[in-house]
Amino acid sequence: MSPACGETAASRRNRSHASSSGGPRRPGFGAQGRGRSSAVRASGRSWRWASRGPSSAGSCTSPHGVVLGAGTTPRPLTARLPGTVLWQDTAAIALEGSAARFPMEVLDFHAARLPAADAPWYLDWPRDGERFEEPMLGALRLFLNSRHPAIGALVSGEMDAATAGAVTSMMRLEVARTMLVGALAEDNFVEGTAEYPDGSVGAALHTMIGLYWPDESPGSLRSQLRAAPQAFEAQLQERLRFLAPEA
């Protein structure tokens, strides 16, 4: 058996930088590829597979089956040749998902030629409301700059818990603000004229609003944002429990 990642972080970056154009490009979220196949060790009814973290993302496909071994006694109307596939199936395993965690990737901003190479993070997402129907895992990603001292300490676990909590809280607030303000500027999203499939950017935005503003609609939120942006900002901090101690 040899699980293979359907889309790897490395393949996205390689595809992204294949062009010789001078300016920065979106890392190739639309890229589809096959990662390296890896052997697994089976024991009884369980098996274990290990992969390098930075090279695995999106989903993993695990083909498995039952193969006729050598030394079996053939019977009438049964398989005879060793190696004959008696049964096979394929399982798709989600390695990351919007319901479980936000799509993120740690990389060197200088090497990736991302804008503001010394920034701690960079949110790449489709601000155009016409693209809110795209899958969240393919259209959106939060990049963390491995060269930034704070991010390096955060992802390595060297940062103390209090500081790590503050940095993470600030990151969540910035991402939520960017996405909410951008979505509320889109008429199709606010007026409900577009339908978004499960797992899409638009569906994730509606979930976010329902979670933090269960009694508000996108239209009423946009009215609040336009009438009193400072109050909306304070409310956003309150709803996301910005810098609040963990329970």
* 209, 216 Cβ separation under 8 angstroms: yes
Angle at which helices 201-212 and 161-184 pack, to 10 degrees?
A: 110
86, burial (CB in 10 Å: exposed 0-12, middle 13-18, buried 19+):
exposed
Per-residue pLDDT of the chain (247 residues; tens, 9 = 90+): 444 444 444 344 443 443 333 333 333 333 334 445 444 555 555 555 555 554 455 555 566 677 777 766 767 667 777 778 777 766 555 554 434 357 889 999 999 988 889 999 999 998 887 889 998 888 889 999 999 999 999 998 899 999 999 999 999 999 999 999 999 999 999 998 888 998 899 999 999 999 999 999 999 999 999 999 999 999 999 999 999 886 4
| Spatial separation of the C-alpha atoms in residues 33 and 61, rounded to whole Å | 12
**Residue of 8, 13, 89 lying closest to 51 (CA atoms):** 8
Query: What is the C-alpha to C-alpha distance for residues 96 and 53, in angstroms, rounded to an integer?
Result: 12
* 81 DSSP assignment: S
Tell me if 39 sits within 8 A of 64, measured CB to CB.
no
Is-contact 121 151, C-beta < 8 A? yes
Q: Which H or E run includes 43?
A: strand 41-43
Record the tokens describing residue 85, joined without a space: 């596939």
With contact defined as beta carbons under 8 Å apart, do 200 and 133 qualify? yes
